[in-house]
Amino acid sequence: MTANPCAIHLPDDVVCRVQNLQTSFSHGKHWIKSVDDVSFDIPRGKTLAVVGESGSGKSVTSLSMLRLLPNNGRITGGQVLYRHSNEDVMDLAALEERRMRKIRGRHIAMIFQEPMTSLNPLFTVGDQIAEMLMLHEPVTRAKALARAAEMLELVEIPAARQRLSDYPHHMSGGMRQRVMIAMALVCNPTLLIADEPTTALDVTVQAQIIALLRRLQEDRGMSIMFITHNLGVVAEIAHEVVVLYAGRVAEHAKVHDLFDHQKHPYTRGLLACIPDAKRDRAADGTRIRLRPIMGNVPPAGRWPEGCTFAPRCEYADDVCTQVAPPLVRAGALDHLSSCRKHEAL
């Protein structure tokens, strides 16, 4: 099934629009919903951060966008609208697989959380970067390897040409992540999906990778969907933030508005978990313990009725446990929240 571009509209300043996305996984004879009616826009040339705890639906959303779900997963509703340059808008959720293979890696690229499992240990990093280019463009192996060396220089790997013959295990975690970035950007995509790209790295290397992504974005004008559970990282790289909880959007806002005026108790709880030297000390100078969010994200298939965050929320009442709140405007024009008590926050 192919999309009808004449029936699809996408604003010029939006590179990708996820609209009412629903994704389910088979479990025996039943289908269990993992992503439920998720919608957001990725602005052209900017970064959208998607935030939430493990199990909130972040990675499933990104895998759905690229149609990389396992055999027991499928998109059961919604659209993933995408336009490269000035071409017609296409719905990736309905695109035939042959055309989808031309999109992955070429126009929309992805880097993953653990580069050691994403890179093939049997091939050199040069061959792996060159293979990505040769898959999408008619170039010789020699030209592809020359381009691979340029990409390693671009991501600030020292002695780039000499490192082409290195295997992944010859490199540190930070270097391997830079190789993954080089591989993702070798075809100059318009959208980069980065799934927890700094989680396995130490704080210093995290800062280096974030600075690198910001510089590459400015130089190339690409859009980034940055997936993370760490709101502290979000402040350094994002322009907008989507907070997911139990497969649904809890809050969506500009990054500064979200940090200054949280309109969902879940977002407020996530921010309270970030250490802050001023906030976490009492008047006498003694340290105050951070306030964790009690409980865990309910697994797919066991979501409670009403607001899925209600069992963990200090503001919840009987109505919250019975009626699922819609995503509505909360304060600023582009600030959305799915909490029915957002005005009191």
User: For the segment 168-202, what is each residue's pLDDT rounded down to a tens digit?
Assistant: 999 998 899 999 999 999 999 999 999 988 877 78
Dihedral angle of Cα 171, 214, 130, 16, to the nearest 10 degrees: 130
Q: What percent of the chain has pLDDT over 70?
A: 92
pLDDT digits (tens, 9 = 90+) for 78-109: 999 998 766 689 999 999 999 999 999 999 99
Sequence-separated (6 or more) residues with CB below 8 Å from residue 297: 52, 53, 54, 55, 56, 245, 246
What is residue 165's predicted lDDT score, i.e. its pLDDT? 95
Where along the chain do its domains lie?
5-107+189-280+289-298+335-344, 119-188
* Helix, coil or strand: residue 33: strand
Average pLDDT, the chain: 90
Q: How many CA atoms lie within 13 A of 285 on its CB side?
A: 0
What is residue 72's predicted lDDT score, i.e. its pLDDT? 94
5-107+189-280+289-298+335-344 fold: Rossmann fold (3.40.50)
Q: Report whether 65 contacts 223 (CB < 8 A).
A: no
pLDDT digits (tens, 9 = 90+) for 281-314: 656 666 556 677 889 999 998 999 999 999 999 9
Sign of the torsion formed by the C-alpha atoms of 61, 65, 71 and 77: positive
How far, in Å, are 5, 34, 102, 141 from residue 89 at the CA level? 5, 26, 15, 33
Q: Tokens 């005026």 sit at which residue?
A: 261
pLDDT digits (tens, 9 = 90+) for 1-31: 344 444 577 898 999 999 999 999 998 889 9
Closest-CA residue to 182 (of 218, 158, 154, 159): 154
Residue 103, H or E segment: helix 97-103
Give CA–CA dist 48/240, Å, rounded. Answer: 5
